[in-house]
């Protein structure tokens, strides 16, 4: 269920004409916005599609992100699960199994998808970027739609399509493709930025009696 991809309230000048902005200007505004974010919180709705099984699984929950590779994904549906990282370690807790998978965050979360804030703050560094449709830069919601291709593709991230709100320059939707064309679509709502999220949110203590299983990050 980990898709991280990523992850918020400052309005920019309404005098900017959305449809006339050049790609470089859009990229610069997104990079500037995310470079200034220290943390954010959002509700998310997720749809995962497994191409080989032709299976779609919906999910939802709340995500917390903080600079330094810190993150916390709290899934409510289809079943409770927590994915937590303090930037050094990562824990995936599945209450249904009473099991915690533990790994080294830099290995498990390698690449631009591992740190949503860092990745979007350095778009040109991590991705080649174009409008998904150069003739129609914005969708029906007025969001820019960008097609991001990692400069160093990974099995879990071959392509990333994002919808960016030009009023706040935040990602409102994301679609992640892996090398097998499996996809994870995410919508973000109720976004709150720079709220001073405490570090204790990103620490995890396994529940008593839970089995601890090391992750294979290869």
pLDDT for the residue 115:
57
CB 72 within 8 A of CB 213: no
| Predicted confidence (pLDDT) per residue in 194-215, tens digit | 999 999 999 998 899 999 999 8
What is the three-class DSSP state of 34? helix
Question: Cβ atoms within 10 A of the Cβ of 141, count?
Answer: 10
Report the alpha-carbon distance of residue 115 to residue 195 in Å, rounded. 18
Q: Specify the long-range contacts of residues 147-152, CB closer than 8 Å, at least 24 apart.
A: 148/123, 150/111, 150/112, 150/126, 151/125, 151/126, 151/127, 152/111
Using only C-alpha atoms, the chain has a radius of gyration, in whole angstroms, of 17
Q: What is the predicted pLDDT for the residue at 3?
A: 41
Query: Do the Cβ atoms of 103 and 90 come closer than 8 Å?
Result: yes
Instruction: For the chain, 218 residues long, give each residue's pLDDT as a single digit of tens.
Output: 434 333 322 222 233 334 445 899 999 999 999 889 999 999 999 999 999 999 999 999 999 999 988 999 999 999 999 999 998 999 999 999 999 999 998 777 765 555 566 678 888 888 899 999 999 999 999 999 999 998 887 788 889 999 999 999 999 999 999 889 899 999 999 999 999 999 999 999 889 999 999 987 44
Q: What is the pLDDT of residue 4?
A: 39
Domains observed in the chain: 30-214 (2.50.20.10)
Contact 40, 193 (CB under 8 A): yes
pLDDT at residue 118, as a whole number: 65
- pLDDT score at 7: 33
Predicted confidence at residue 110, as pLDDT, reads: 61
H or E element at residue 31: helix 23-35
The pTM assigned to this predicted structure is 0.83
b/e map 20-59, b = 16+ CB within 10 Å: ebeeeebbebbbebbeebebbbbebebebbeeeeeeeeeb
Query: d(Cα 21, Cα 29) in Å, to the nearest integer?
Result: 11
* DSSP 8-state class, residue 207: P
Q: Look up residue 84 and give its two tokens.
A: 């937590």
pLDDT of residue 5: 34
**Could you tell me the two tokens for 141?**
């919601």
CA distance 42 to 24: 27
- Side by side, the strands of the sheet bearing 170-177 are 127-131, 144-150, 159-165, 170-177, 183-193, 39-50, 55-66, 70-77, 81-86, 89-94, 99-104, 211-214
Quick one: pLDDT at residue 14? Answer: 30
């Amino acid at each position: 269920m980990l898709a991280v991809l990523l992850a918020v309230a400052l309005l920019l000048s309404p005098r900017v004409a959305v449809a006339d902005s050049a790609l470089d200007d859009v990229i610069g505004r997104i990079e500037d916005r995310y470079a200034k974010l220290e943390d954010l919180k959002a509700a998310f709705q997720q749809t995962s599609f497994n191409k080989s099984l032709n299976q779609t699984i919906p999910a939802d929950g709340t995500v917390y992100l903080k600079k330094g590779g810190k993150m916390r994904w709290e899934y409510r549906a289809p079943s409770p699960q927590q994915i937590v990282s303090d930037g050094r370690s990562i824990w995936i807790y599945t209450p249904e199994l009473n099991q915690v998978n533990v790994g080294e965050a830099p290995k498990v979360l390698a690449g631009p998808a591992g740190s949503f804030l860092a990745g979007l703050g350095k778009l040109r560094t991590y991705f080649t970027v174009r409008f998904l449709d150069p003739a129609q830069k914005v969708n029906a919601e007025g969001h820019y739609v960008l097609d991001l291709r990692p400069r160093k593709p990974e099995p879990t991230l071959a392509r990333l399509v994002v919808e960016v709100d030009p009023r706040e320059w935040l990602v409102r939707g994301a679609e992640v493709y892996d090398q097998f064309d499996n996809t994870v679509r995410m919508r973000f709502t109720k976004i709150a930025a720079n709220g001073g999220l405490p570090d204790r949110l990103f620490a995890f203590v396994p529940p008593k009696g839970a089995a601890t299983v090391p992750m294979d990050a290869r």
